Amino acid sequence: MAHARPKADVVVIGLGWSGSVIAEELARAGLKVVAIERGAWRDTASDFPPSVDTDELRWATRKEILQPPKLETYTFRNNASQQALPVREWSNLTLGYNVGGAGTHWAAASWRFNPFDFQPYSKTIERYGKGQLVPGLQVQDWGITYDELEPFYDRFERIAGTSGQAGVVNGDIIPGGNPFEGSRSRGYPTPPLVPSRWNDIFTEKTTEMGYHPFPVPAGTISRAYVNALGVHMGPCTYCGYCQLFGCGNWSKSSPNACVVPALMRQPTFEVMTETEVLHINKSADGKTATGVSFIGKDGVVGEQPADIVIVAAYQLDNVRLMLLSGIGQPYDPRTKQGVIGRNYSFQTLSYAYLWFENEYLNPFINTGCLAIQIDDFNADNFDHTGLGFIGGAGIQSLSNNGLPIGMAGVLPKQAPAWGKGWKKAFQHSYQNWAMIQGQGTSYAHEAMYFDLDPTYKDNYGRPLMRMTFDYNLNDKRSGEFIRKQCEAIAHAVGGTQVESYNFANDHYTPFRANDSSHTIGGVVMGTDPKTSALNRYQQSWDVHNVFVLGASSFPNNGGFNPTVTLGALALWTAKAIREQYLHNPGPLVQA
Amino acid sequence: MNRRDALISLVQLTALSVAGSAGASVISARTPMPVGTQPEALPKPPRKGGLAYLAADEAREVAAIYDRLIPQDELGMSASQAGCVEFIDRELAGAFGQAASVYRLGPIVPGTAEQGPQFTQTPAERYRSGLGALAGYCQAHYGKPFSALDGDTQDSLLRAMENGTLHLPAINAAAFFALLLQNVREGYLADPMYGGNRDMVGWKLIGFPGARYDYRPYLDKKGMALNLEPVSLLDGAG
Ligand SMILES: Cc1cc2nc3c(=O)[nH]c(=O)nc-3n(C[C@H](O)[C@H](O)[C@H](O)COP(=O)(O)OP(=O)(O)OC[C@H]3O[C@@H](n4cnc5c(N)ncnc54)[C@H](O)[C@@H]3O)c2cc1C
Ligand code: SF4
């Protein structure tokens, strides 16, 4: 007989960015909140102070704080005619596995999406007509607009301490910022970071080319800050042990540095660590959830009853938990019916790698997101007539990479990979290599989806999730268009050797160096229960006391990193629960 | 709240696994928390001296291979001089060598390149079988081990492994080469406390300052050679 814990008002599955933000909101409102986190407790002083953090082998190469594939992985194939096989070793999806989730070791580029990204369907039809969409593309509006989300973006930035330069405030364009961004109600809480040498070169040349460079909003914050929850953050020291590491200075926006300290003071909150939720339990009529079943690290199974279930286990596990719990109809690519596993999208990356002749770029001075970007080719900021695709990419000069093991293979293609020649080439490349990254939009396709794998199991004998994914024609075209822009800039800035890549030209693989970790969709929000699993409040259409938070809610990906948008959506949902759902539990939108 | 209050209330007491839960650690505002870096978080340098996994002849062959991959020259010592054999020996004996992070449940089916490695063997086993296969090949073709061949022959064998033209029985030679190359770089460039990168030779090669944590004093020295002396995570580890 499973051990039952006392009933809670709210159970939160996963204590990463989404889970911690909503738990704090709801516990502060007086609700009894229990979070269940698969990973262990982690905090700055106890687990990754500077005397522990500065170890590339341990954290970046062996990935010691990440969720190992051994614990749970997924199977992968490029298309439905292949047999999916398990992703056995570390892949580009470097998942979180501790209190803080991937928010502990993320790179902290802290973006708002462009207004277009929330209404890609209606805005495309309005400007270009249906012919702009390639066959099979699943493009749909989110059911929420940028303007509706703006106050929640603002609040999230005040929790995260984001450093940046506003480009548009209350409709006015501010020099030095991103003129293409959605209008903000005010500027960033902290000023932009000091740019790197590489950032400066990029700014100068792209300005000459007529583009509009601006600092990438950063959660590696430029100065000390007391956030909206009263928590103190310290200034970033540009230590360069950032992505895949915890921050030892309390300067990286993270659940650990920004949210959990305030959350832990709430008397109505508690977290069970090293405990995995197995599935969500439903009432006899299937219309509501009664709580969750979990398993502790000692293998003992228990139950946490609750009135509200918040699923915040990261995009992949969100989809898997919905499939394992039988909430919402699974997507079937043959009939195109069903919603769980539908609308999977990713991030279409293009790059130019370039080498200068005689620079001192000092790449070890960096943060996870020290970059200057242009948005001239992002979203719908340029005319797509005749191009055959929608979307684009943010194009940035990224200084986030100076650790030697990782850099040892970053050489021009013709350079020797070993021997004396390698030593010479590495010595030169280390100070002279730079990258221009096109971080592209991604739209779902009807043939790409998630379901449960028929063969491979996790350690408890339950099916792994299966990913069927390859780039679609829209990705290939937008990726190629962006690759050319990256390449042109690489030549313009004076790269004497230039290599450029459109990742979407090849089949997708989870093992590609420098690929994104941004998996998107699968339990998306929307306006129509036939094409979305959740309504605009991230509430399940089918089981009204289940809310699903994370990038799993996005019907498509913008040409940006996803986290600030999913954080803002968590705050938006928290408000809807507090102000509407608690007074009248039931669907917040009638199907 | 200030940072100190937060710390006092937050550091996990791992022993405290309690209160009406099935084996879970429950942490709340009432949980007393000790202060300071947790013992498990501290760096764990491997023990010094002797071999932990490799046999002596295997270690000799690894040294010979590694020293072709990273040779001694005017830019610095070779991989084995820098301690890379000791480094990989400890790694193979530890979590990495035992594939502690790898999903290893079957069935094992060879897949497409995109689907990635579908190995049944751990890295430790792959070294054993890979070195064994290479030794067998060298014995059969040259009547001596790899380590006794001249440098040019060694290089051409390694190149053939690298580009997949050398077929060794029962192992994937190209994948084994990739593992060797990755590991020798790790040994040469990881913190010296792991046994390699002696005198921080790998870091000095490229001008990497090592385990420093604050570059704010150098932010305005853009485009300049900084010539920062590297530092190791553990004093004297180099
Ligand atoms: C290397 C890297 C760099 C990144 N850089 C950026 C960036 O620069 N900018 C950006 O915007 N985004 C970035 N991201 C993405 C970002 O980290 C995620 O978008 C964000 O953390 C997602 O928040 P979440 O709350 O959905 O999930 P997470 O923060 O991952 O939290 C999910 C939590 O759920 C737990 N969990 C999972 N399953 C269960 C279960 N069954 N039971 C209990 N607990 C469970 C996990 O252990 C985890 O702690 C990066 C990601 C990675 C990996
Ligand atoms: S670069 Fe800045 S934010 Fe990132 S880990 Fe270092 S100090 Fe922290």
pLDDT digits (tens, 9 = 90+) for A450-461: 999 999 999 999
Ligand 1 pocket test target in A281, A561, A565, A569 with most atoms within 8 Å of CB: A561
- Side chain identity at A90, as an amino acid letter? W
Ligand 1 pocket test target in A24, A38, A61 with most atoms within 8 Å of CB: A38
Cβ(A206)–Cβ(A213) below 8 Å: yes
Nearest CA to ligand 1 atom 33: A14
Position A3 scores a pLDDT of 82
Position A197 scores a pLDDT of 98
Radius of gyration of chain A (CA): 23
B151: nearest CA partner in chain A: A419
Nearest CA to ligand 2 atom 6: A239
**A518 counts as catalytic:** yes
Mean local confidence (pLDDT), A91-109:
97
Q: Cβ A45–B7 below 8 Å, yes or no?
A: yes
Write b or e for each residue in A78-107: b if 16 or more Cβ atoms lie within 10 A of its Cβ, otherwise e: beeeeebbbbbbbbbbbbbbbbbbbbbbbb
Cα(A42) to centroid(ligand 1), Å: 14
pLDDT in tens, A471-529: 999 999 999 999 999 999 999 999 999 999 999 999 999 999 999 999 999 999 999 99
* Residue A231 three-state SS: coil
Outline where DSSP puts E strands in A414-484: 433-440, 442-445, 449-457, 463-468
pLDDT in tens, B87-139: 999 999 999 999 999 999 999 999 999 999 998 899 999 999 999 999 999 99
Q: Which of B23, B29, B220 sits opposite A266 (nearest CB)?
A: B29
Domain ranges of chain A: 3-76+92-581
In angstroms, rounded to a whole number, what is the distance separating the alpha carbons of residues B21 and A36?
11
Order of all β-strands in the sheet with A556-557: A137-138, A442-445, A556-557
Active-site entry in A212, A428, A518, A544? A518
- What contacts 24+ positions apart, CB below 8 Å, involve A405-414? A405/A56, A405/A57, A405/A60, A405/A61, A405/B185, A405/B186, A405/B189, A405/B190, A406/A56, A406/A60, A406/A61, A407/A363, A407/A433, A407/B206, A408/B185, A408/B189, A409/A513, A409/B185, A410/A353, A412/A355, A412/A497, A412/A499, A413/A499
Half-sphere exposure of A385 (CA within 13 A, CB side): 4
Q: Residue B24: list chain A partners with CB under 8 A.
A: 36, 272-275, 294, 296-297, 302
Q: Cβ A296–B21 below 8 Å, yes or no?
A: yes
Nearest CA to ligand 2 atom 8: A247
Cβ(A424)–Cβ(A432) below 8 Å: no
Mean pLDDT by 10 residues, chain B (238 residues): 40 34 72 84 90 98 98 98 98 97 96 94 97 98 98 98 95 97 98 97 98 97 97 72
- pTM of the predicted model, to two decimals? 0.96
Phi then psi for residue A2, to 5 deg, are: -65, 140
Give how far Cα A359 sits from Cα of A422, A429, A495, B125, B222, Å. 19, 10, 11, 43, 10
Cα(B116) to centroid(ligand 2), Å: 32
Strand A137-138 and strand A442-445: pairing? Answer: antiparallel
Order of all β-strands in the sheet with A74-77: A85-86, A74-77, A463-468, A449-457
Q: Which of A6, A237, A262 sits opposite B214 (nearest CB)?
A: A237
* Residue A570 three-state SS: helix
For residue A212, what are its two tokens? 């509009």
Closest by CA to A317, choosing from A443, A450, A445, is A450
Q: Which of A48, A89, A270 sits opposite B116 (nearest CB)?
A: A89
For residue A255, what are its two tokens? 């659940």
Sign of CA pseudo-dihedral B46, B50, B56, B59: positive
CATH placement of domain A3-76+92-581: 3.50.50.60
Position B235 scores a pLDDT of 66
Residues for chain A: how many in total? 591
Cβ neighbors of A203 (< 8 A, separation 6 or more) are A195, A213, A372, A397
Position B10 scores a pLDDT of 35
Position B25 scores a pLDDT of 85
Which H/E stretch holds residue A488?
A: helix A473-492
Mean local confidence (pLDDT), A431-449:
98
Residues with CB under 6 A from ligand 2: A 220, 236-239, 241-242, 245, 247, 249, 251-252, 367-368
Position B13 scores a pLDDT of 32
Give how far Cα A523 sits from Cα of A479, A540, B170, Å. 25, 9, 44
Q: Mutate which of B16, B66, B67, B105 to test chain A, going by most A C-beta atoms within 10 A?
A: B105
Ligand nearest to the CA of A217: 1
For residue A193, what are its two tokens? 């970071």
Position B236 scores a pLDDT of 53
In angstroms, rounded to a whole number, what is the distance separating the alpha carbons of residues B116 and A76?
10
Angle at A452 between CA A69 and CA A460, to 5 degrees: 55
Phi then psi for residue A365, to 5 deg, are: -85, 100
Q: Residue A301: list chain B partners with CB under 8 A.
A: 22
Outline where DSSP puts E strands in A72-122: 74-77, 85-86
Closest by CA to A187, choosing from A162, A152, A211, A221, is A162
Number of continuous H segments (helices) and E segments (strands) in chain B = 7, 1
Q: Is the CB of A280 under 6 A from ligand 1?
A: no
Instruction: Flag whether pLDDT at A445 surpasses 50.
Output: yes
Closest by CA to A273, choosing from A500, A47, A501, is A47
Angle of the A146-160 helix axis to the A563-576 helix axis, nearest 10: 110
Cα(A239) to centroid(ligand 2), Å: 5
Cβ neighbors of A218 (< 8 A, separation 6 or more) are A108, A109, A110, A162, A163, A164, A192, A193, A236, A367, A369, A370
CB atoms within 10 A of CB A559: 29
Concatenating the DSSP letter of every residue in A317-369 gives HHHHHHHHHT-SPBPBTTTTB--BTEEEE--EEEEEEEE-SS----TTSB-TT
A200: nearest CA partner in chain B: B222
Residues for chain B: how many in total? 238
In angstroms, rounded to a whole number, what is the distance separating the alpha carbons of residues B72 and B63?
12
Q: Residue A238: list chain B partners with CB under 8 A.
A: 214-216, 219
The torsion of the CA quartet A373, A376, A378, A380, rounded to 10 degrees, works out to 160
Q: Residue B104: list chain A partners with CB under 8 A.
A: 70, 88
Position B14 scores a pLDDT of 32
Position A155 scores a pLDDT of 98
CA distance A579 to chain B (A): 26
Position B32 scores a pLDDT of 81
Q: Cβ A455–B224 below 8 Å, yes or no?
A: no
In angstroms, rounded to a whole number, what is the distance separating the alpha carbons of residues B159 and B172?
14
- DSSP-assigned beta bridge partners for residue A309: A11, A546
* Residue A179 three-state SS: coil
Angle of the B173-189 helix axis to the B151-162 helix axis, nearest 10: 110
Q: Which of A405, A455, A511 sits opposite B190 (nearest CB)?
A: A405
pLDDT in tens, A347-397: 999 999 999 999 999 999 999 999 999 999 999 999 999 999 999 999 999
- For residue A42, give the DSSP letter: -
CA distance B82 to chain A (A): 14
Give how far Cα A73 sits from Cα of A82, A83, A452, B1, Å. 18, 16, 12, 39
In angstroms, rounded to a whole number, what is the distance separating the alpha carbons of residues B137 and B153?
13
Sign of CA pseudo-dihedral A58, A435, A174, A518: negative
Q: Whose structure tokens read 């190209």?
A: B174
CA distance A215 to chain B (A): 16
ipTM > 0.85 for the complex: yes
Mean local confidence (pLDDT), A161-190:
98
In angstroms, rounded to a whole number, what is the distance separating the alpha carbons of residues A215 and A373?
6
CA distance B53 to chain A (A): 19
Mean pLDDT of chain A: 97
Cα(B234) to centroid(ligand 2), Å: 20
Concatenating the DSSP letter of every residue in A409-428 gives T-S-TTS-SSSHHHHHHHHH
In angstroms, rounded to a whole number, what is the distance separating the alpha carbons of residues A369 and A242?
9
Write b or e for each residue in A497-515: b if 16 or more Cβ atoms lie within 10 A of its Cβ, otherwise e: bbebbbbbeeebbbbeebb
pLDDT in tens, A279-329: 999 999 999 999 999 999 888 999 999 999 999 999 999 999 999 999 999
